[in-house]
Structure 1
Amino acid sequence: MKTKIKTYVVTSLFLVAFTYSGMAQTRKRTTTKTVTTRTISKRTPNRVSSTKVVYKTPKKKVVSVRTVPNRTIIKHKGRNYYYANNKFYTASRGRYIVIAPKIGFRIKTLPPNFRRVHYNNHIYFSVGGTFYSQVGSDYEVVEPEIGTIVYELPDNYEKVIIDGQTYYEYANILYEKVQVDGTRAYEVVGIIDME
């Protein structure tokens, strides 16, 4: 009788152990998914008239230099602009003033600190808040698509208020702070139309 009980107990334990190990091997695999969260504003701006934009610092100091060494001349819409050290300049009264790049400016080579930004099967090259797209052998300044994510704002960004909401602006591109996988990022939410 004792041997029969031992046999049943050992067999039962063996079946339980076998069933448990089988369950452990058939667990479902989990995949990670990138989740972007942001504060929902009343209305995302997309394209905004410059007359609706209020800058936190209304007067920005204009810095000019006398010369721009190793400059490249960029012809755009019949005017000459200048490019050197990842900055664009315009000539004014014998001096050179740093300007935000205009859509359509083209350069031959990207600075070494560029970053590739992928969005909607499109590859942008981002350098200091300027977005480029490769056109033949040149790189052309373009507007990024709404929804493009970057992880740093350019040095000269400005805080702006549009319809009571605060955004970040650089080169007429509006950004909103978001979280991507727990990391702070900035999403392109609009473009300022200059009027």
Structure 2
Amino acid sequence: MKTFIKSFVLPSLFIVAFATQVSAQSRRTTTTTTTTKTKKAPVKKTTKATTRRVASTKVTYKKPSKKVVSVRNVPNRTVVKYNNQNYYYANNKYYTQSRGRYIVIAPKIGFRINILPTNYRRVRHNNYNYYNVNGTFYIQTNNQYEVVEPEVGTIVYELPNDYEKVVIDGQTYYEYANILYEKVQVDGTRAYEVVGIIDVQ
């Protein structure tokens, strides 16, 4: 009888215990898998994790042309030179000269000034302190302020008056100075989140 127990019962118990342990482990691993939902983005990721870019050829503007407002002169203007181009600053706006008239423009990336315009708003996102002036984002670099592209996820609470609506892959966004925004709610307040940058081609 002892020989029967040693020969058949103990090995059988060992096999049953081993099979139970294996099946328990396999059950445990299958029940702990999780799925996460990701928001479909219409723009391509580049090597920078914080920047998403979309080709201008994929952007459709809702209005076929933009109304350009120009003025004959800009009183009390300050001339700021950048990359051999003159910008004319007055009334918290930048202008460029074309055919004897002045047109409001957004300064280009890399443009630097010594003093921020008076109507700036401080915007914090991740490790950046941005200064937003009429849809243009600056960061402080040494003793100057440089125009930069904001990171995706940056939130602002208002857009410049001359923003435009655009459609990308069937979804509507807001665009100003090649920055794409999506309307969102933050603590019950309407806001606009940066979702990408248009690559002008």
Letter in 2 for 1:106: R
**Aligned counterpart, 1:19:** none
Does the 8 Å contact 1:178/1:186 carry over to 2?
yes
Q: CA–CA distance in 2 between the matches of 1:62 and 1:187?
A: 26
**Aligned counterpart, 1:43:** 41
Q: 1:112 to 1:76 in 2, by over 3 A?
A: closer
**Aligned counterpart, 1:86:** 92
**Aligned counterpart, 2:73:** 67
Structure with more contact order per residue of length (Cα contacts < 8 Å, sep ≥ 6): 1
Q: CA–CA distance in 1 between the matches of 2:199 and 2:79?
A: 26
Give 1:119 shift: 0.7
Q: CA–CA distance in 2 between the matches of 1:164 and 1:41?
A: 15
Give 1:115 shift: 1.2
Does the 8 Å contact 1:74/1:106 carry over to 2?
no
Does the 8 Å contact 2:92/2:119 carry over to 1?
no
**Aligned counterpart, 1:154:** 160
Q: How many residues align?
A: 156
**Aligned counterpart, 1:178:** 184
Unaligned runs of 5+ in 2: 1-37, 44-51
Give 1:44 shift: 4.0
- Secondary structure, aligned partner of 1:146: coil
- Secondary structure, aligned partner of 1:112: coil
Give 1:55 shift: 0.8
CA-atom RMSD, angstroms?
Answer: 1.6
Unaligned runs of 5+ in 1: 1-39
Does the 8 Å contact 2:154/2:194 carry over to 1?
yes
Give 1:90 shift: 1.3
Does the 8 Å contact 2:115/2:144 carry over to 1?
yes
Match for residue 131 of structure 2 among 119, 125, 134: 125
Q: CA–CA distance in 2 between the matches of 1:180 and 1:44?
A: 22
- Secondary structure, aligned partner of 1:69: coil
Residues 38-63 of structure 1: per-residue CA shift (max 9 Å, x gap): xx753242211111111111111222
**Aligned counterpart, 2:63:** 57
Q: Percent identity?
A: 74
Does the 8 Å contact 2:73/2:102 carry over to 1?
yes
Residues 141-181 of structure 1: per-residue CA shift (max 9 Å, x gap): 11111110111122111110011110001111000111222
Q: CA–CA distance in 2 between the matches of 1:191 and 1:75?
A: 25
